[in-house]
Amino acid sequence: MIRITRRERFSAAHRLAKEEWSQEKNFDVFGKCSNPNWHGHNYILYVTVEGEVDEETGYVIDLSLLGKIVKEHVIKYVDHKNLNLDVPFFKGVMTSAENIAIKFWEQLEEPVNATGGKLCSIKIQETENNYVEYFGK
């Protein structure tokens, strides 16, 4: 069993706030991340797939295939977008790094596992000082 990881990047706007709360309460809880006019990040995404090495190719999964899956099911929805307003799978979801990782897992689990590999972890780096990792449960 080997793990292989592909890195992808996307730039997006977002905001942390609950609509039903006042701006003051949102600021108390989320600080500057609640700015009503949005802010944004260069997010870095690491998708890790686990599997056995194919004897013929030496691959767990063809990285260009993995790249296509990630672009098709995640990147095209979020790159140069507003995570809160533009992305169907973030409707009604707080766009914290934690939830981004969980929703990306849900987007990628089926198409990645259909290749014969097994989705192993999703890592989202939001700034150089923080990242989250999700392992599917």
What does the alpha-carbon distance between residue 115 and residue 65 come to, in Å, rounded to a whole number? 9
27 touches a copy of itself (CB under 8 A): no
81 touches a copy of itself (CB under 8 A): yes
Which 3 state secondary structure label does DSSP give 21? coil
Residue 7 CB, shortest distance to a copy of itself, in Å, is 5
Q: Which one, of 18, 52, 49, lies nearest residue 34 by Cα?
A: 18
What does the alpha-carbon distance between residue 17 and residue 19 come to, in Å, rounded to a whole number? 6
Of the residues 27, 33, 89, 111, which one makes contact with a copy of itself according to CB under 8 A? 33
109 touches a copy of itself (CB under 8 A): no
Of the residues 71, 75, 102, 111, which one makes contact with a copy of itself according to CB under 8 A? 102
The whole-angstrom distance between residue 66's C-alpha and the CA centroid of its chain comes to: 15
What does the alpha-carbon distance between residue 4 and residue 24 come to, in Å, rounded to a whole number? 44
110 touches a copy of itself (CB under 8 A): no
Residue 36 CB, shortest distance to a copy of itself, in Å, is 9
The CA–CA distances, whole Å, from 64 to 6, 32, 127 equal 9, 38, 26
The footprint of a copy of itself (CB under 8 A) covers: 1-9, 11-14, 16, 18, 29-33, 35, 37-42, 53, 56-60, 63-64, 79-82, 85-86, 93-99, 101-102, 127-135, 137
Catalytic residues: 33, 80, 126
